[in-house]
């Protein structure tokens, strides 16, 4: 029997005021009419807590788009969960935050260090709102993580981004190279940084980590690596995702994998889905692996990489992640890296 998950990513809605081209939400976004209601989300939190979850990440889209957010925060917090609000910051005024007692931590997205570039990436005028939101979080005495998704258009600004996060009073800065799912996959040609850009960024990160008192997390650009990332720390191992319409996924992108047998909270108890659903059982542990992963010494380090990436690039979710230099499909990734840059298509608006 699988161990209990400790994290729930609750994607409350796909509605969002921003239109970032790097968004990892699926290209087919869930509309408001198909979102779970308040009682259904509270039931998800009850079931998740009973299953062992103690960290609830309220995400989206933009969770502030949900008018019932105070109730949802209060319910998760009342169960004893640590509640992390993952937000664009648009609409996060001091008044709105004061109406959300029970939030333990705020993760604020920022698109770039300078206003014009940040707004260009967001597809809307968002930068000023983020400064307001960061101030509100600090004034409320809550811990603040600033999250910046890195790509070709902003990866040269890492030093300025670190300085901005320090000015905002962040405790923690996540510099996360784009992961290519959903809209980001569609925009991959425009977002992929060059090897030279990444090498420079890596040097700046090392220097800033040595200098700054702020915690700086750097998520690698795995297409450029010789080995894949340990995606989700293993399939169905630590965290589960519930999408706006109640689908339960082993990772946020797993809906792309054909024939996975995804189940919905409306049809089955969360614990049963976690322990026995075909979607969660498909790639748990090591039994599903073929060579080269099956006999590889790194399999307990990277768990064979990312199932969604393997499916997206090869059409076979059980294949070795093509990012791996030992994969027979590594040539696919090298060809993508050698491709010409493209233009960003902003994420669709969903209501």
Q: State the binding site for [4Fe-4S] cluster.
A: 16, 20, 23
306 contact choice in ligand SF4, ligand FES, none (CB below 5 to 8 Å, kind-dependent): ligand FES
In the complex, what is the shortest distance from the CB of residue 310 to ligand SF4, in angstroms, rounded to a whole number? 9
Stretch that binds ligand SF4, among 38-46, 67-75, 266-274, 288-296 (CB under 6 A): 288-296
Of 30, 191, 324, 344, the one binding ligand SF4 by CB under 6 A: 324
Is residue 227 a contact point for ligand FES (CB under 6 A)? no
**Closest residue by Cα to residue 223 from 180, 280, 174:** 180
53-56: long-range contacts, CB 8 A cutoff, minimum separation 24 = 53/4, 53/5, 53/6, 53/7, 53/8, 53/81, 53/240, 54/6, 54/80, 54/81, 54/82, 55/6, 55/7, 55/8, 55/81, 55/82, 55/84, 56/7, 56/8, 56/10, 56/81, 56/82, 56/83, 56/84
Residue 308 near ligand FES by CB under 6 A: yes
323 binds ligand FES (CB under 6 A): no
Cβ-based nearer residue to ligand SF4, 328 or 341: 328
Q: Binding partner of residue 321 among ligand FES, ligand SF4, none, CB under 5 to 8 Å per kind? A: ligand SF4
Binding of ligand SF4 by 91 (CB under 6 A): no
Q: Two tokens at 116?
A: 């014009």
Residue 293 interacts with which of ligand SF4, ligand FES, none, CB < 5 to 8 Å by class: ligand SF4
Which of residues 17 and 305 has its CB atom nearest to ligand SF4 in the complex? 305
Can residue 23 be called a binding residue for ligand FES (CB under 6 A)? Answer: no
Q: Does the protein bind ligand SF4 through residue 292 (CB under 6 A)?
A: yes
Choosing from 146, 293, 310, 333, the residue that interacts with ligand SF4 (CB under 6 A) is: 293
Q: Residue 318 interacts with ligand SF4 (CB under 6 A)?
A: no
Query: To the nearest whole angstrom, how small is the minimum distance from the Cβ of residue 314 to ligand SF4?
Result: 13
CB under 8 Å, gap of 24 or more: what pairs does 279-283 form? 279/248, 279/249, 279/250, 279/254, 280/2, 280/235, 280/236, 280/240, 280/250, 281/236, 282/235, 282/250, 282/307, 282/317, 283/235, 283/236, 283/250, 283/307, 283/317, 283/318
Measured between alpha carbons, how far is 305 from 312 in angstroms, rounded to an integer? Answer: 13
- Interface with ligand FES (CB under 6 A): 181, 231-232, 251, 253-254, 306-309
- Interface with ligand SF4 (CB under 6 A): 227-228, 292-293, 296, 298-299, 302, 304-305, 320-321, 324, 326
């Amino acid at each position: 029997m699988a161990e209990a998950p400790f994290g729930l990513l609750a994607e409350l809605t796909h509605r969002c005021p921003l239109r970032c081209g790097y968004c990892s939400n699926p290209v087919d976004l869930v509309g408001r009419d198909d979102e779970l209601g308040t009682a259904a989300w509270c039931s998800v939190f009850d079931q998740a807590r009973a299953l062992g979850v103690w960290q609830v990440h309220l995400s989206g889209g933009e969770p502030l788009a949900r008018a019932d957010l105070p109730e949802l925060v209060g319910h998760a917090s009342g169960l004893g969960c640590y509640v992390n609000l993952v937000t664009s910051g648009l609409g996060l005024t001091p008044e709105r935050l004061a109406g959300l007692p029970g939030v333990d931590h705020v993760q604020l997205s920022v698109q770039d260090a300078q206003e014009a570039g940040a707004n260009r990436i967001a597809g809307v005028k968002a930068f000023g709102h983020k400064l307001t939101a960061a101030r509100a979080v600090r004034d409320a005495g809550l811990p603040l993580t600033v999250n910046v998704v890195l790509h070709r258009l902003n990866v040269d600004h890492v030093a300025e981004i670190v300085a901005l996060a320090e000015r905002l009073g962040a405790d923690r800065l996540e510099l996360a190279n784009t992961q290519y799912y959903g809209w980001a996959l569609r925009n991959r040609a425009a977002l992929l940084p060059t090897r030279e850009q990444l090498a420079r960024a890596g040097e700046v990160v090392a220097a800033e980590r040595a200098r700054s008192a702020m915690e700086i997390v750097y998520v690698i650009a795995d297409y450029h690596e010789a080995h894949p990332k340990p995606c989700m720390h293993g399939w169905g191992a630590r965290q589960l995702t519930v999408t706006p319409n109640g689908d339960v996924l082993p990772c946020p992108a797993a809906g792309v994998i054909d024939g996975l047998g995804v189940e919905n909270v409306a049809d089955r108890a969360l614990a049963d889905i976690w322990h026995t659903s075909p979607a969660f059982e498909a790639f748990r542990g090591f039994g599903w692996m073929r060579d080269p992963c099956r006999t590889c010494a790194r399999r307990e380090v990277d768990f064979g990489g990312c199932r969604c990436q393997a499916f997206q690039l090869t059409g076979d979710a059980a294949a070795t992640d093509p990012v791996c230099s030992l994969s027979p499909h590594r040539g696919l990734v090298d060809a993508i890296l050698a491709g010409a840059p493209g233009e960003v298509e902003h994420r669709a608006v969903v209501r």
